[in-house]
Structure 1
Amino acid sequence: MTKEILGSFKLSAIALSLAIGLFACEGDDGTTGPIGNVGEQGDNGAVGADGQSGRSVPLLTRLATVPRGAEVTGAFLSDAGDLFFNVQHPSDANSEEDSSGKVYNRGTVGVLSGVNFNRLPSKIADSPVPETEFERQTVMTALGEYQVIGQTNDVFAELGAKGLAKGLGIHYGIMSGDKIIENNAPDFNGFVSTGANEGYLFTNWESYPGGMSRMKIIKDNVGSWSVTEAMMLDFDSVQGTAANCFGSVSPWGTPLTSEEWIVRSDVNSTTDASWNDPANTSTDNMEALTAPDFPNPYRYGYIAEVTAPTSDAPIVVKHFTVGRYEHENSTVMPDRKTMYSSQDDTGGVLFKFIADAAEDLTSGTLYGAKLKQDVGSTEPATTGFDVTWVELAKSDNATIGAWIAEYDGIGTDDYVEGKTSYMTIADVKAWADGDATYPLVENGGSFVTAGQPMDDRSAFLESRQAAKMKGATAEWRKLEGISINHDRALEAVGGVESIADENVTEAFMYIGISDIDNTMIDDEGDIQLSARVKDCGGVYRAKLEENYDLARIEPVVMGGTYRSTLTGAERCDVNQLSQPDNVIVMRDGRIIIGEDGFQENNTLWMFDPKGE
């Protein structure tokens, strides 16, 4: 982390004394004369203007560390100030028990009990860097106590019929009903309140295929949580999901889950897709969902909304309108129409979607961000970007769904060497160029659309390539979590007083970047940063302007590499950021950052941008 220390001072009226020296030139000094009478005191001069206030050093506080091998995932702060976070894929060799008898060798969903994050003091002592085996294998916290809510394969037998006989995080085939995977990777948490000290905790389970659990939890009068019912959501209606990563809860109370890994997005590079090539039809367990050798790839890679989240049978809706790419997460602004989405990949795009109607993501317009880097600046800790928005297309789920259905049923018998039934780079280019029809197969087109009238499917089925060809910046490297504090944003932009003890005049969307390398440091295109930060990553922020627009992105806090004196390998300082994954904005403006880094024990940080 680069720290700027600026002194803070005021200018005041100062009495000046004058020493008068008498100098002779090439002669002896004369006799000193008598001292004259002291003159009358002159009038005081005008008081000088106050100098510019200095800025304190921004602070990183180590809130917690997770066990050996694990990532910090799922950070979620409820309106009541409860902080949930997960232990993702810890080492299965961990054997130490914490004070509650829990061993952290399975994916773990938990909460920091006994702490209200809406009432934190301004200063908190760091949790120590783990040294003992017990500290390395358990969750260590700076305050409160980490309470396990559930772990991979838990069945909650004590709940009877309200338990989960098939196990927490376990995924089954839609057609066969066979177990596919025991998922050790809980990611996003989203809490939907149903009253004081109770609600439903939704958790993503990130794998191929993906899934989401829902646990009804209640908190007693000493701050301890218990599970009263549990289920894995039914995603059969959307033919399953691919790697549910991070997410958010919409302002109207519906969880939004992200499909991060999509099925072989070859068209996003320089070659056309050939998913039905008989020599290579592997889709990492996705074929087990729907029985054929491989699924329709255009059915995966979207934001899915859990509607009726507190009902006995929540309904899952994939929003094709938000685009198909490697979603990390999306967050909806207080206008309930504007949504920002991040692409977790090399050469990714920051997307914006504006719905046609509030609380309805089924139709709207998709945009990609175009960046302009500060002139003459390449240092990651200080270099910002001006942002403009490139409109891609406007459509709705039903229209896009009909396009997707055209690729159902394509089999290995349809494969032709050197040609494809799927979208091609030539298809996307013809769309971007405004051509009236899709190119013929002999001109690089696909079998499905060759010669047909042009439509906007490129924008929604191959969103990155479409955005890039329209001039948006496709150069982010592992664009991770994005977050706002709803109440701060509502007050600063919407003019609605929401924060009782503060006059909020500006609010920001924070953006985690796990790696600042590859396409961000290659001296090409719109982003050309130095390699100083590289794999350690950092956090950016963008001020929310009128109508929740973003016009500027600037760095806030960065990690920094150093070379090991023993091996020469690049490392990240344990006391600085190491591959920040997701961020959460607190009511008081501080942010919580979870690491997905190289450290033996990754950290859950709290960062104070005010440095107070």
Structure 2
Amino acid sequence: MRGKKQKPVKWMGPLLGLALVFPLIPIADAASGEAAIRSVEFEGMEAPKTAEDMARVYTTAKVKVTYADRSVKIFPLTYKPLFKSTDAVGGTVAGIAVDANGKPIMDTSNPDKPVPYVSDAPDANSLFQVPGAPPTGLGGNPLSLVTHYEYVTSDQAGNSAYGLVPASMSHTVIDQNRETGELTPVKLDKIDFSGVGGLWIPCNGSLTPWNTHLGSEEYDPDARAFEADPTETFVGPFVRAYYQDPDKKGNPYAYGYVPEVIVRPDQSTTVVKHYSLGRFSHELAKVAPDMKTVLFGDDGAYTMLFMYVADRPRDLSSGTLYAAKWIQKASDNGGAADLKWIRLGHATDSEIKGYIDRGIAFSDMFESSDGPAEGFQAVKTYPSGKIEYLKVKPGMEQAAAFLEPRRYGALLGATSEFNKMEGVTVNAADGKLYVAMSSVEKSMESSSKDPVDDIHVNKIKSGAVYELPFAAGQKDADGAPIRSAYVPTSMKGLVVGRDLPAPDAKGGTADDNWVANPDNLSYSEALRTLFIGEDSGMHANNYVWAYQIDSGRLSRILSVPAGAEATGLQAVDNLNGFSYVMSNFQHPGDEMILPEPLKSEVENYITRDFDNKKAGMVGYIAGLPTIGAQDRGLPGLGNVLVELRRAAEAAGADIRWNEITREVTLEYRGHRLQFRVGEMAAWMDGRQVDLPHPPELRDGRMMVPQRILEQFLAR
């Protein structure tokens, strides 16, 4: 293998992203002796019918696995609670709100009985394994779980506390039973955000390819409104509560970012806020397989589709921010469009943090006019939702691009008409991004009153999930190359809601056997399944759905209590031989649409079981088959193969291909890695490395194990 003369690389076929050894094709697994799998399909559950079922979280769904010999095995699914947000785990109440010193923030709305604020709104989960973590004491594998607590709904007196009480995250040590895979919470700690000014309304989150958690700060406060009147936003009460200082003023530009949580082997945590990813209503940030391209959800009305390309893999501290322009092609089924990307600017975290520390205000970046005027441009974006007449002050382009990316992007021609853009997730094997639009209406409908009308699609109040294919070699609107192989080039509806002309018997205004108001998204590469969680006021109960990419089949696999939102969705493929779908719910019994007397009956059960409607739940769906369970390497990477050219070019590595020996050589930062098609070993700097699966040629594309390639590119 070594020392042979190499020929120039010759690649054929399209650039598709990652590929997965998913055994829908009946190829025997010679290494493990396991029967090859022909197909995997979900068999869904019925919607709840009784008041008791409508008040609980449960599943009766199943997974059907058909093997190459036509034999069938049924895997019944179950929902496993881990803890309620009001529960203490290892002495710490999971959802408790804490100040900058880690002390509970007290609810004094009843002066005679002050109590700590406790969130009823658990959201994002990242379940993962930290190499070198100490034993749990229960004999299983030590895992880590990072969880968001998005907000506190109300105080003791029933007054809204949304946005007024600082939010939080927790890190829970989980014991994973080595035989059954059952998860048991052992110890929970609140994550310290005092070094980054606290945590502002964390919605969804994701796990990075390098095993850290990316959080979010949703609904960025309107800095223009704050400058005119500081009482117009939550910033003032938020900082006063967080710092326990009645004189604290706050700065709206300190919030609206993506925090990264690093968990160390000793179970301690560190938080970094990535200011260069831009300030907007971060529903979720998802890193593409190149470990430097980040795609986002931007929740609210009149929002934007953003993309960030980091300068270096695994490092989100500097990069280039882009915003999309929607070029419409169709208006039905959620609409369809080509996407053009507009470069907003390049920055480092420290550069943007510097503007904030110097006390920058909206008026430092923009001039504004009360009406049309020469030199001013009309824009309409979140959070103002009003037509504004703006121009950027000379020399303030970088600050505006990252602190006000919607307003600045709109001035450059990016589309600011998306509505309720929620979760995003990546199908690496097919090279696609999925984006949830909870409600396709309002700013996405045709309007002659808005300054721009890029999006003019037919109204679907129950929303849609969109499919966006990736492509390499793309250029921005100015013709400059975008240095990413994961650039979305078009957008169309994939799973589209079905509105009802009149409410059903349970008060629902969307088809109860179809997705409504999709929110959380997570994709399983192993099961080739898109999981969809709902945040709907159009269904009596919200559900989690499994949408199977190859068949287009949609199956209901979980029901949460009436009035609750399904949150915290994370598909976990092959974590020490076991697979899970993490799934929480928040605010049970809130704003129920059920008619009486059914509503009261359901509410009584919820009040009884969920601490007087004050407790959300953190848990997971168990019973999933694990594809590639024989490989017990790094979490989730057992049988995943990556297209070598795409990954190598994204990292800047050199490639050489030898057609005679069918081997490929990578050189990167003075190191060398060599693969040969069909061999179970590679050579890294002359040292033999065993592979979990042999490299393959597929339509002229060299596919190699992701885990080994990531280790090499991280050197």
Alignment TM-score, normalising by the size of structure 2 = 0.57
User: Match of 1:523, as an amino acid?
Assistant: S
1:201 aligned residue: 145
User: Match of 1:519, as an amino acid?
Assistant: S
Write out per-residue CA displacement over residues 384-443 of structure 1, whole angstroms, 9 at most, x where no aligned residue: 1101100001010111111011228x9xxxxxxxxx76654539x99999xxxxxxxxxx
1:403 to 2:403 alignment: no
8 Å contact 1:197–1:218 — kept in the other structure?
Answer: yes
C-alpha separation between the residues in 1 aligned to 2:233 and 2:331?
42
8 Å contact 1:536–1:559 — kept in the other structure?
Answer: yes
Tell me by how many angstroms 1:273 deviates. 4.2
1:235 aligned residue: 193
2:549 aligned residue: 609
Q: Secondary structure of 1:316's match?
A: strand
2:94 aligned residue: 168
> Relative to structure 2, which stretch is displaced further, 253-262 or 138-147?
138-147
1:146 aligned residue: 79
Summarize the Cα distance change of 1:309–1:555 in structure 2 as closer, same or farther, 3 Å threshold: farther
Q: Secondary structure of 1:402's match?
A: helix
8 Å contact 1:274–1:422 — kept in the other structure?
Answer: no
Summarize the Cα distance change of 1:176–1:253 in structure 2 as closer, same or farther, 3 Å threshold: closer
8 Å contact 2:332–2:457 — kept in the other structure?
Answer: yes
1:288 to 2:241 alignment: yes
C-alpha separation between the residues in 1 aligned to 2:191 and 2:457?
42
8 Å contact 2:336–2:493 — kept in the other structure?
Answer: yes
Match of 1:131 among 27, 44, 49: 49
Larger Rg computed on CA atoms: 1
Tell me by how many angstroms 1:119 deviates. 8.3
C-alpha separation between the residues in 2 aligned to 1:262 and 1:610?
38
8 Å contact 2:235–2:252 — kept in the other structure?
Answer: no
1:523 to 2:523 alignment: no
C-alpha separation between the residues in 2 aligned to 1:591 and 1:450?
41
Match of 1:370 among 325, 337, 342: 325
8 Å contact 1:540–1:556 — kept in the other structure?
Answer: yes
8 Å contact 2:438–2:519 — kept in the other structure?
Answer: yes
C-alpha separation between the residues in 2 aligned to 1:358 and 1:566?
50
Match of 1:211 among 168, 174, 179: 168
2:606 aligned residue: none
2:656 aligned residue: none
Summarize the Cα distance change of 1:513–1:279 in structure 2 as closer, same or farther, 3 Å threshold: closer
8 Å contact 1:254–1:309 — kept in the other structure?
Answer: no
Q: Secondary structure of 1:387's match?
A: strand
8 Å contact 1:219–1:226 — kept in the other structure?
Answer: yes
Tell me by how many angstroms 1:485 deviates. 3.9
Q: Mapping of 1:352-391 within 5 angstroms? A: 352-374=307-329, 377-381=330-334, 383-391=335-343
Summarize the Cα distance change of 1:140–1:177 in structure 2 as closer, same or farther, 3 Å threshold: closer
Tell me by how many angstroms 1:172 deviates. 1.8
Identity within the alignment, %: 27
Q: Secondary structure of 1:561's match?
A: coil
C-alpha separation between the residues in 2 aligned to 1:130 and 1:391?
48
2:420 aligned residue: 478
Higher strand share: 2
User: Match of 2:532, as an amino acid?
Assistant: I
8 Å contact 1:562–1:573 — kept in the other structure?
Answer: yes
Write out per-residue CA displacement over residues 513-564 of structure 1, whole angstroms, 9 at most, x where no aligned residue: 1010110113351110112x2x201100111212111111111111121122
Summarize the Cα distance change of 1:370–1:130 in structure 2 as closer, same or farther, 3 Å threshold: same
Summarize the Cα distance change of 1:424–1:281 in structure 2 as closer, same or farther, 3 Å threshold: farther
Q: Mapping of 1:577-588 within 5 angstroms? A: 577-587=515-525, 588=527
C-alpha separation between the residues in 2 aligned to 1:514 and 1:278?
30
1:590 aligned residue: 529
> Relative to structure 2, which stretch is displaced further, 216-225 or 465-474?
216-225
Summarize the Cα distance change of 1:262–1:451 in structure 2 as closer, same or farther, 3 Å threshold: closer
Summarize the Cα distance change of 1:393–1:243 in structure 2 as closer, same or farther, 3 Å threshold: same
C-alpha separation between the residues in 2 aligned to 1:266 and 1:140?
42
Q: Secondary structure of 2:49's match?
A: coil
1:344 aligned residue: 299
> Relative to structure 2, which stretch is displaced further, 598-607 or 273-282?
273-282
Q: Secondary structure of 1:218's match?
A: strand
Tell me by how many angstroms 1:577 deviates. 1.1
1:66 aligned residue: none
Q: Secondary structure of 1:519's match?
A: helix
Summarize the Cα distance change of 1:342–1:430 in structure 2 as closer, same or farther, 3 Å threshold: farther
C-alpha separation between the residues in 2 aligned to 1:327 and 1:191?
20
8 Å contact 2:239–2:248 — kept in the other structure?
Answer: no
8 Å contact 1:248–1:330 — kept in the other structure?
Answer: yes
What 5-or-longer segments of structure 1 have no aligned partner? Answer: 1-78, 82-117, 157-162, 411-419, 434-443, 489-505
User: Match of 1:515, as an amino acid?
Assistant: S
C-alpha separation between the residues in 2 aligned to 1:231 and 1:323?
29
- Provide the alpha-carbon RMSD of the alignment: 3.3
Tell me by how many angstroms 1:362 deviates. 0.7
Tell me by how many angstroms 1:450 deviates. 11
Q: Mapping of 1:53-64 within 5 angstroms? A: none
Q: Secondary structure of 1:285's match?
A: helix
Q: Secondary structure of 1:456's match?
A: helix
Write out per-residue CA displacement over residues 36-87 of structure 1, whole angstroms, 9 at most, x where no aligned residue: xxxxxxxxxxxxxxxxxxxxxxxxxxxxxxxxxxxxxxxxxxx9x9xxxxxx
What 5-or-longer segments of structure 2 have no aligned partner? Answer: 1-19, 23-35, 62-75, 107-116, 132-139, 152-162, 378-387, 473-484, 553-715
Write out per-residue CA displacement over residues 477-505 of structure 1, whole angstroms, 9 at most, x where no aligned residue: 0111000145x2xxxxxxxxxxxxxxxxx
C-alpha separation between the residues in 1 aligned to 2:375 and 2:267?
44
Alignment TM-score, normalising by the size of structure 1 = 0.66
Match of 1:249 among 207, 212, 223: 207
C-alpha separation between the residues in 1 aligned to 2:521 and 2:438?
11
C-alpha separation between the residues in 2 aligned to 1:432 and 1:312?
52
User: Match of 1:385, as an amino acid?
Assistant: A
Summarize the Cα distance change of 1:352–1:176 in structure 2 as closer, same or farther, 3 Å threshold: closer
1:112 aligned residue: none
C-alpha separation between the residues in 2 aligned to 1:319 and 1:557?
32
User: Match of 2:549, as an amino acid?
Assistant: P
1:457 to 2:410 alignment: no
Tell me by how many angstroms 1:367 deviates. 0.4
C-alpha separation between the residues in 1 aligned to 2:174 and 2:299?
31
